[in-house]
Amino acid sequence: MAKKWGIRALLLFGVYALAMYYYIFHNGSGDIPAALKGTVADPHVFMSGRELYLSEEYSKIKNFLFFVATPFEWLVYLFILITGLSLAFERWIPLQNKWAILQSAVYVFLLSLLTFIVFFPLEFFRYVLSKNYGISTQSFNSWMRDNVIDFWVNFGMTVVIVTVLYWLINKSTKKWWFNAWLLMIPFSIFLMFIQPVVIDPLYNDFYPLTNKDLETKILSLAEQANIPTEHVYEVNMAEKTNALNAYVTGIGSNARIVLWDTTLNRLSENEILFIMAHEMGHYVEKHIYFGIAGYLLTMLIGLWLTARLMPWIIIHFGRVLKIKRLNAIHSLPLFLLITSFLLFVSSPLSNYISRYQETRADLYAIELVDDPEAAISTFQELTKAGLSEVNPPLLVKWFRYSHPTMLERISKVANEIGKEE
């Protein structure tokens, strides 16, 4: 029975991968609307022929990898279950029935190590792809160091979460999901609070903006927006990437506005001020707090659905999946498979909300700095630096784009200029 399941899963994955390959590489979508051809939103206007070719090629490969990688993750979890590996990992745990956190640590380490090895070729291919297209500037040693840090950071957090999760399941197989959600609220807020000062510095160096004249102008914008802040931070990303970025991170006293040094090196002062105004727009519109609320609501619904699906699957397919009971840690891959699936299918909704917030931040920035030309040139530079698709296929936009497409962002600014004229 397990063998049949494995063959069916592989065939289904193969059919899905072929369908996505055809959709991304051969559906002919992504063309610029006739009304926008020759305008500032048309990539043929602001990108060279080589940049256009590389952008189209690079975007298609990245999009295909995205749509294949997540179902491949589900396939891996399924095979870990049906082959009995998960059950074997639990049996290898020393000191059974003692020190739950030690048992969780051993199991999670074995599962994490296996998935790290399985997914490493895919991650390495992404790294090489980014290097070949001139996006990444990171050395292999530096990239590998980040992967090792990722492994141990995720391992530490997962051990804590899994230990508490299965303790709650053992306490109540019916209400564990709600109790888990209640505990995840302070844990998630704590992680958001410490991320800028504890987690992020593990990967890069952060320091106050060295260009004090620029910092003064940014802080002047912050004052106009009634944002209490004393510093803008920059981070040394040039040794890792040619892409441009700026973001808001953290909450409370640890909230930070961060600029990549690549952004500082490549964009003009007016373009940087527009980006900063955009990030301030998120603060003024309270998107961080709406994001936290949305995250907690999504988690509540996700845990509730998982609590309904897991027992049903175990009752009907537990023998094939080698799962003896819900409250045993060897059921963890099923938990991870379900939550990964729910996150994937809900991503169009979360991305839609995010795109709305990004549009609001764009409009706020345009009003604050009153320099639409800088906004347009900023979006054009971001497109060229990241070899981004300005008008991706619909499914790609739904599942991948947390920001409006560059076609939408540039044309919206151009429309605002048209209204003023």
Residue ranges for the binding site for Zn(2+)?
278, 282, 358
E strands, 295-382, are none
Specify the amino acid at residue 308: R
CA 100 vs. chain centroid, Å, equals: 31
Of 234, 362, 389, 408, the active-site residue reads 362
Phi and psi at residue 11, to the nearest 5°: -65, -45
CA distance 41 to 29: 17
Supply angle C-alpha 77, 80, 83, rounded to 5: 140
Cβ-in-10-Å burial (0-12, 13-18, 19+) of 271 comes to buried
- What is the Cα 263 distance to its own chain's centre? 20
Residue 210 DSSP one-character state: S
Q: Which of 279, 370, 373, 420 is catalytic?
A: 279
d(CA 340, CA 286): 28
Residue 362 designated active-site: yes
- The Cβ of residue 201 has, within 10 Å, a number of other Cβ atoms equal to 12
Contact 270, 218 (CB under 8 A): no
Residue with tokens 């704590």: 190
Cα(235)–Cα(201) distance, integer angstroms: 9
Residue list, annotated binding site = 278, 282, 358
Task: Give yes or no: 213 in active site.
Answer: no
Q: What span, in angstroms and rounded, lies between the C-alpha atoms of 162 and 155?
A: 10
H or E element: which one contains 271? helix 269-284
Q: Which residues are catalytic?
A: 279, 362
